[in-house]
Structure 1
Amino acid sequence: MNNISKKTSSNVYKKDDYEDLSLKDAQALMVSILKDVDQLCEKHGLKYFLDAGTLLGAVRHKDFIPWDDDMDIGMLRQDYDKFLEIAKKELPEHLFLQTFKTDKYYDIYPVPCKIRYNGTILIEKAIGENDKMHNGVYIDIFPYDSLPKTKWVYKLQRTLSYEILKSLNRLRDKPEHLSFKNRITFTFYKLVTKIFSIKRREKFFKFLINWNDPNSKYMGYGVDTYWSEYVYKKEDYFDLVKLEFQGEHFYAPRNYDAILTQLYGDYMTLPKEEERVWHAKEIKKLKEV
Structure 2
Amino acid sequence: MITFQLSKQEKVVKSINSPSNNISHCAFLACSHSPQCTTQNKTCCAYILKHSLVFIDTFFKHHNLSYVIIYGTLLGAVRNKTIIPWTKDIDIGIIDMTYLFTKKIRDELYQHGFHLFESFGLPRLCVHKNISNRTLLATYDRRHKPPASTLELKVYIDLYSMYRIYGAQTTSKTPVFLIKTGGSFHALISFQNRVTIDEQTFPTIDNIEEHLVYFYTKEYMHGIMTE
Range of TM-score over shorter length: 0.5 to 0.7
Counterpart position of 2:125: 115
Whether 1:256 aligns to 2:211 is no
1:97 to partner: Cα distance: 3.1
Greater CA radius of gyration, 1 or 2?
1
TM-score between both structures, scaled by the size of structure 2:
0.63
Written as runs of structure 1 = structure 2, the 5 A alignment for 1:1-150 is: 9=22, 11=24, 20-23=30-33, 24=37, 25-76=44-95, 79-85=96-102, 87-91=105-109, 93=111, 95-100=113-118, 108-111=119-122, 113-119=123-129, 131-132=147-148, 135=153, 137-147=155-165
**Does the C-alpha gap of structure 1 residues 240 and 81 become closer, same or farther in structure 2, counting only changes over 3 Å?**
farther
Unaligned 5+ runs, structure 1 = 1-6, 101-107, 123-128, 148-214, 279-289
Checking the alignment, whether the CA contact within 8 Å between 1:58 and 1:245 is kept in structure 2 is yes
Q: Say if 1:130 and 1:81 are closer, same or farther in 2 by CA, change over 3 A.
A: same
State whether structure 2 residue 178 is matched by structure 1 residue 220. Answer: yes
- 8 Å CA contact retained: 2:76, 2:83: yes
Residues 50 and 252 in structure 1, CA contact (< 8 A), matched pair in contact too? yes
Deviations 1:150-174 (A, max 9, x none): xxxxxxxxxxxxxxxxxxxxxxxxx
TM-score, structure 1 as length reference: 0.51
In the TM superposition, residue 252 of structure 1 has moved relative to its aligned partner by 0.8
Checking the alignment, whether the CA contact within 8 Å between 2:23 and 2:149 is kept in structure 1 is yes
Match of 1:254, SS state, is: coil
Kept after mapping to 2: 8 A contact 1:116/1:136: no
What amino acid is aligned across from residue 142 of structure 1 in structure 2?
A: Y
Whether the aligned pair in 1 keeps the contact of 2:177 and 2:189 (CA below 8 Å) is no
Q: How far, CA to CA, are the matches of 1:251 and 1:18 in structure 2?
A: 29
1:244 and 1:250 in contact (8 A); partners too: yes
* SS, match of residue 115 in structure 1: strand
- Work out the CA distance in 1 between the residues paired with 2:115 and 2:202: 20
1:231 to 2:189 alignment: no
Aligned-pair CA distance for 1:94 = 5.0
Maintained 8 Å contact 1:73/1:140: yes
Runs of 4+ in 1 over 6 A off after TM superposition: none
Q: Structure 1: how far apart are the matches of 2:31 and 2:178?
A: 34
Matched residue count: 177
Unpaired runs of 5+ residues, structure 2, are 1-19, 38-43, 130-136, 169-175
Q: CA RMSD in A?
A: 3.4
